[in-house]
A and B are shown apart, each in its own frame.
Chain A
Amino acid sequence: MTRAFLALVLRDLRLAARVGGSGAMGLVFFLMLVAVVPFALGPDLNLLARIGPALLWFSAVLATLIGLDRLFQTDVEDGAIDLILSSDTPLEVLVAAKGVAHWLTTGLPLALCAPLFGLLLALTPGAMLSVAATLVVGTPALTFIGAVGAALTASLGRGGLLLAILVMPLMVPTLIFGVSAASAATAGTIAFLTPFLILAALSLVAIVIGTFAAAAALRQSA
């Protein structure tokens, strides 16, 4: 079971790194969003520093959606999904493997680069650290909630926009607690730990529910 899990994670990582993969695309999109917003709001550094954590989180939500619509779709197109469905390993484990691979190529790089992009938004070092920490803890929730939508739209052909409509409402709680934990360091009205722990709980719940629901959706539709 562990071998199948690792094999699938490695396969998806390799696919993401090669031509046609969406490995670095999420990161570039993240940078784009961060770079475009100052043009819209004006380059007022005080304003940007105040809304910076929220902005990084919002960009992370949008960037997670990149590549999510292809999470199961490529497997449906090239037939790998039939192997995955008929394998001895429980489907839930394999879905979890695909989710982990997606998080390793999207969520984790976003979290690691968040301090760097925080420089563009004039964040204080404390705020940068808290944004990065909340993104590391919170992006698994985004990935696994998105996996449900990806599984539902896998066999639709053009599910990109539909996927966003389906999963964005479910991502709202994660966004709320992510932003409130990230901005707790700068605003200082509430403790950092309370929303941070709730965010961690949301991630854990999303990993469980997302894995099982995505597996159920794949069984029903594929």
Chain B
Amino acid sequence: MPRLSSLWNLANPTRFLGLADRLLPWLAALASALLGVGLYLSFFVAPPDYQQGETVRIMFIHVPAAWLGLFMYVMMSASALGTLVWRHPLADVAQKAAAPIGAAFTFVCLVTGSLWGKPMWGTWWVWDARLTSVLVLFLMYLGIMALWRAVDDPGRAARAVAVLTLVGVVNIPIIKFSVDWWSTLHQPAAVFRIDGPTIHPSMLWPLLVMALGCTVLAIALHVAGMRNEILRRRVRSLRLMEAERLDAGAETAAGAAR
């Protein structure tokens, strides 16, 4: 099992840090190139919509953000399985690093959606099934981040968060299919359909480039977040060792004085 064993090799944090240091510049460069091209395409090349006008350009940020909000949650759930089933040390770190990134993308999705909704639907917010379930996703991200902060031992926090994350997975299919189950205001899926995308290629291409750029950006942020978390844990254990050493030093000093 060469692939599995390489996954286990990554359990060694030093090896992961080495890999992350080599990967990060490439990921960052790729993300900025893709996002640069994508933003140029979506703001200057893609035509305005015949009904929505220029506001359609909000979609090029809104839709990738929504995908990434869901993608990071799925990523977090996979890591949660890694934590609970295999006790993989890197899975804890991956879980923790994914939560703020997913929350940020979900927040961007909500904000851009509401900016688009004001001119198009005439309201900043409606209690439509898709909007509500994405808001619930955002609240769950916040709850998960709150639970991370509430438990001080990182290993125990990881296992507690993993249980919560896996319970929250039920929300993901609800978000995905909410537009099909309750046909309210939000429009149904237009890109990933069995009968092919219903978007004109002139708009589909900028959207796909933006989606790819956002995905690479999310992966780069995630790898950087994991690296920072590993370093943070090292600092934490160094501090604990230092405190123990000082404690022992103070005790021997007190003993000598006596």
A: which residues have CB within 8 A of B? 148-149, 151-153, 156, 159, 162, 165-166, 168-170, 172-173, 209, 213, 216-217, 220-221
For residue B159, CB closer than 8 A to chain A, the reply is yes
Count class of interface residues, chain B: 20 to 34
For residue B150, CB closer than 8 A to chain A, the reply is yes
Residues of chain B lying within 8 A (CB to CB) of residue A172: 132, 136
* Closest Cβ neighbor of A167 among chain B residues: B143
Query: Complex formed: what's the CA distance from A128 to B247 in Å?
Result: 65
Q: Can you list 28 A-B contacts with CB-CB less than 8 angstroms, sorted by A residue number?
A: A148-B164, A148-B167, A149-B164, A152-B160, A152-B164, A153-B150, A165-B139, A165-B146, A166-B143, A166-B146, A168-B139, A169-B136, A169-B139, A169-B143, A170-B167, A170-B168, A172-B132, A172-B136, A213-B163, A213-B166, A213-B167, A216-B84, A217-B163, A220-B84, A220-B159, A220-B160, A220-B163, A221-B151
Q: State the Cβ distance, A171 to closest chain B Cβ, in Å.
A: 10
Query: Complex formed: what's the CA distance from A152 to B143 in Å?
Result: 12
Residues of chain A lying within 8 A (CB to CB) of residue B170: 209
* Closest Cβ neighbor of B159 among chain A residues: A220
Residues of chain B lying within 8 A (CB to CB) of residue A153: 150
Q: State the Cβ distance, B97 to closest chain A Cβ, in Å.
A: 20
State whether B147 touches A166 (Cβ < 8 A).
yes
Query: Complex formed: what's the CA distance from A149 to B151 in Å?
Result: 14
Residues of chain B lying within 8 A (CB to CB) of residue A168: 139
For residue B140, CB closer than 8 A to chain A, the reply is yes
Residues of chain A lying within 8 A (CB to CB) of residue B151: 156, 221
Residues of chain A lying within 8 A (CB to CB) of residue B171: 169-170
Residues of chain B lying within 8 A (CB to CB) of residue A159: 150
State whether B150 touches A162 (Cβ < 8 A).
yes
Complex partner residue of A221 from B140, B146, B156, CB under 8 angstroms: B156
Count A/B pairs, Cβ under 8 Å.
Answer: 58
Known: A162-B146, A165-B143, A166-B146. Contact between A148 and B136, CB under 8 A?
no
Q: State the Cβ distance, B77 to closest chain A Cβ, in Å.
A: 13
State whether B163 touches A169 (Cβ < 8 A).
no
Query: Complex formed: what's the CA distance from A149 to B142 in Å?
Result: 14
For residue B115, CB closer than 8 A to chain A, the reply is no
Q: State the Cβ distance, B142 to closest chain A Cβ, in Å.
A: 7
Residues B147-177 near A (CB distance < 8 A): 147, 150-151, 156, 159-160, 162-164, 166-168, 170-171, 174
Q: State the Cβ distance, B104 to closest chain A Cβ, in Å.
A: 18
Residues of chain A lying within 8 A (CB to CB) of residue B146: 162, 165-166
Q: What would 16 more interface pairs be, CB under 8 Å, given A162-B150, A213-B167, A220-B162?
A: A148-B163, A148-B167, A152-B160, A152-B164, A159-B150, A165-B139, A165-B142, A165-B146, A169-B168, A209-B167, A213-B163, A217-B163, A220-B84, A220-B160, A220-B163, A221-B159
Residues of chain B lying within 8 A (CB to CB) of residue A209: 167, 170
Complex partner residue of B156 from A148, A151, A220, CB under 8 angstroms: A220
Residues of chain B lying within 8 A (CB to CB) of residue A170: 140, 167-168, 171
Query: Complex formed: what's the CA distance from A220 to B161 in Å?
Result: 10
Residues of chain B lying within 8 A (CB to CB) of residue A216: 84, 163
Residues of chain A lying within 8 A (CB to CB) of residue B174: 173
Query: Complex formed: what's the CA distance from A217 to B156 in Å?
Result: 10
Complex partner residue of A156 from B142, B143, B150, B168, CB under 8 angstroms: B150
Q: State the Cβ distance, A85 to closest chain B Cβ, in Å.
A: 15
* Closest Cβ neighbor of B168 among chain A residues: A170
Query: Complex formed: what's the CA distance from A213 to B159 in Å?
Result: 12
Query: Complex formed: what's the CA distance from A42 to B146 in Å?
Result: 36
Query: Complex formed: what's the CA distance from A165 to B148 in Å?
Result: 13
State whether B160 touches A217 (Cβ < 8 A).
yes
Q: State the Cβ distance, A3 to closest chain B Cβ, in Å.
A: 29
Q: State the Cβ distance, B138 to closest chain A Cβ, in Å.
A: 9
Residues of chain A lying within 8 A (CB to CB) of residue B166: 213
Residues of chain B lying within 8 A (CB to CB) of residue A220: 84, 156, 159-160, 162-163
Query: Complex formed: what's the CA distance from A183 to B156 in Å?
Result: 43
The 9 A-B residue pairs with the shortest CB-CB distance in the complex, in nearest-first order: A220-B159, A169-B139, A217-B163, A166-B143, A169-B136, A165-B143, A169-B140, A213-B167, A152-B160
Residues of chain B lying within 8 A (CB to CB) of residue A156: 150-151
